[in-house]
Structure 1
């Protein structure tokens, strides 16, 4: 998935445990300029450096994966959490759409009968 917006805030690297670190990025997303949304992304482990060269106000395209997971508390109540995990961030020129990655469609398959026989399938 990909979304384009303006950098609002770049968080500091957080060392959560001895073996796990993460960093947050908040962008302003204005699909409707009257109602600006603030979307928080995270980068983990060796990807925390994705946000190093970003500053508030930069226009960016963020490629990310949507992740979700359950968590059950001590009382047995389960809650669900979503995360937007960034894996690529590109600066874009103001007002310009992000360049889409090229898509190479597979060649169409030939489904015609070789010897022009009638197909006996009911659909």
Structure 2
């Protein structure tokens, strides 16, 4: 699944040691660009944390995510994990690019010295 929005805030990195060794996690907040914008907290784990470093707060980004819920002691917890982050270009995307105007024959004067068929040769 992909989500597009504006990077609102980068939260501090968290580190620790578990049964599988050292781990690093960073969360960030994006705001969707819909009629009713939503803020979403997304987490990055391991080497993926470095993908967030060059992206500035306020930038438009596209994030590929997985959503998963887990049960622990009778309560459910939902995790939104990013597995790819891409900055969005500032130019228009093909869906947003304006369509060219239709061709209008009246804008061009007829060729002189030709035959009646309208061909220049």
CA shift digits 1:81-107 (9 cap, x unpaired)? 111110111111247559xxxxxxxxx
Length-normalised TM-score, structure 1: 0.66
Poorly superposed stretches of 4+, deviation over 6 Å: none
Cα 1:60/1:97, change in 2 over 3 Å: farther
Unmatched segments (≥5 aa) in structure 2 = 95-121
How many Å separate the matches in 2 of 1:97 and 1:44?
30
Structure 2 residue aligned with 1:30: 33
How many Å separate the matches in 2 of 1:59 and 1:96?
13
Structure 1 residue aligned with 2:53: 52
Q: Which structure's CA Rg is the greater one?
A: 2
CA shift digits 1:56-86 (9 cap, x unpaired)? 11000000111111111xxxxx111111110
Asked whether the equivalents of residues 65 and 86 of structure 1 are also in contact (C-alpha less than 8 Å), the reply is yes
For residues 37-116 of structure 1, the aligned pairs below 5 Å read 37-72=38-73, 78-94=74-90, 96=92
How many Å separate the matches in 2 of 1:92 and 1:83?
24
Length-normalised TM-score, structure 2: 0.67
